[in-house]
Amino acid sequence: MTLRIEIEDLAKHFGEIKAVDGVTFSVSKGEVLGFLGPNGAGKSTTMKMITGFLTPTRGTVRVCGHDVLTDPISVKASIGYLPEGAPAYADMTPEGFLKFIADVRGLRGSDKKRAVASAAERARITHVMFQPIETLSKGYKRRVGLAQAILHNPPVLIMDEPTDGLDPNQKYEVRTLINEMAEDKAIIISTHILEEVHAMCSRNVLIARGKVEFDGTPHELEALSRYHNAVCVSVGGVETEALSRFAESLDEVAGSEPLNFNNGIRIFPKDGKQITLELSERIRSNGWQIESLYVENGRLDEVFRTLTTRSGDAA
């Protein structure tokens, strides 16, 4: 495991507003870090500090061993960055734009040609290479931004909401692309689309009000949900109430609630434990016929809400 991005006690204050307030985490090669948080939590500000666009109020950022304050050019050279909204030079064509990026990234001659061609192909923009960027659809503009970010095959990739505003097919393509590149890069992706946590990320950092509220795997994030390992069960010919009474009398069960789509109930285990097997055996030994039974993984939207709105200020 090689550390590629190290962030320590990073903060950015705009006057009285603490946009980012003491954020610490690191990303290694091979990791795709999903950077979660509500709008205005400080995701973009953090990314702008990592990429050297904003100067931190305090704290340090190191990318591939280079400090962003003392050696910003080396940091910028090792990062591919897709800023929020994928800004580009609207009056250029993707071809001219990518060539300009390649020039500034120090690619020359056949290396440059190859880099531009391969980035265009991976971002699937080869057939719009000669149209002005301003005439392209939102999806294509995003892909041009993506091509620009991966052009120089950077060891570190930072993308601010890469799938925002794309249709489901385009989202799928972008996720596939990111998964393809994950192996030999350290990647940070900010998003507030929770389904992407599973689709792309190997780790999540969730921030709210400028502070890190969670740092762990997507599975650990789900485990924070009260629905984690909850069992939904319905039994033929048994009333909901009778079923609840029975379930709640068991030792390993913390509580239950009726389901609103059939006459079954959702059973919450104590301490989030896996209780499916015991439960089904007990129901059967009670002489009941199980109609359906399944385990929930946990609900990310619920965890997200809990983590980002706790401690009084439910904004």
| Interface residue list for another protein (CB under 8 A) | 48, 51-54, 73-74, 76-77, 79, 81, 83, 85, 87-92, 96, 100-101, 103-106, 132, 148
Closer residue to another protein in complex, CB, 42/298: 42
Q: How far is the CB of 160 from another protein (least distance, A)?
A: 9
Q: How far is the CB of 239 from another protein (least distance, A)?
A: 60
Closer residue to another protein in complex, CB, 33/133: 133
| Beta carbons of 82 and 147 less than 8 angstroms apart | no
Q: How far is the CB of 167 from another protein (least distance, A)?
A: 23
Q: Is 182 helix (H, G, I), strand (E, B) or coil?
A: helix
φ/ψ of 99, rounded to 5, equals -65, -40
Closer residue to another protein in complex, CB, 48/228: 48
d(CA 61, CA 186): 14
Sign of CA dihedral 81, 84, 116, 186: positive
H-type alpha helices, the chain: 43-50, 72-78, 94-104, 109-122, 138-150, 168-181, 195-200, 218-223, 240-248, 276-285, 300-309
Closer residue to another protein in complex, CB, 99/228: 99
Q: How far is the CB of 253 from another protein (least distance, A)?
A: 53
List the structure tokens of 64: 């591939």
Closer residue to another protein in complex, CB, 93/308: 93
Q: How far is the CB of 111 from another protein (least distance, A)?
A: 14
